[in-house]
């Protein structure tokens, strides 16, 4: 390396994505993960709602202390 080449280094290239595009991509990934979690947990959620309705819901205060 010569003294001339040390001072004339290349600048690093800019990223291919802007910050806003990266944020949108991250939001899409998180949204798809949340949707997958809801879909996998939906049968158990429905079962819990069915049990809640069979026991009387909010009106069953006297029956189940």
Residues 44-48: what's their mean pLDDT? Answer: 94
In the structure encoding, which two tokens stand for residue 6, read together?
């040390």
What per-residue confidence (pLDDT) applies to 37?
95
What per-residue confidence (pLDDT) applies to 54?
87
Contact 49, 41 (CB under 8 A): no
The CB-side HSE value for 11 (13 A sphere, CA atoms) comes to: 3
What per-residue confidence (pLDDT) applies to 32?
97
What per-residue confidence (pLDDT) applies to 35?
97
C-alpha torsion sign, points 41, 44, 47, 49: negative
Q: Which residue reads 């802007």 in tokens?
A: 18
Instruction: Domain ranges for the chain, please list them.
Output: 18-65
What per-residue confidence (pLDDT) applies to 63?
66
Does the pLDDT at position 17 exceed 90? no
């Amino acid at each position: 390396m010569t003294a001339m080449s040390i001072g004339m280094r290349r600048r690093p290239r800019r990223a291919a994505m802007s910050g806003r595009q990266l944020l949108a991509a991250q939001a899409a990934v998180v949204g798809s993960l949340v949707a997958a979690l809801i879909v996998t947990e939906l049968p158990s959620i429905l079962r819990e709602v069915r049990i809640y309705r069979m026991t009387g819901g909010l009106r069953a205060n006297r029956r189940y202390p």
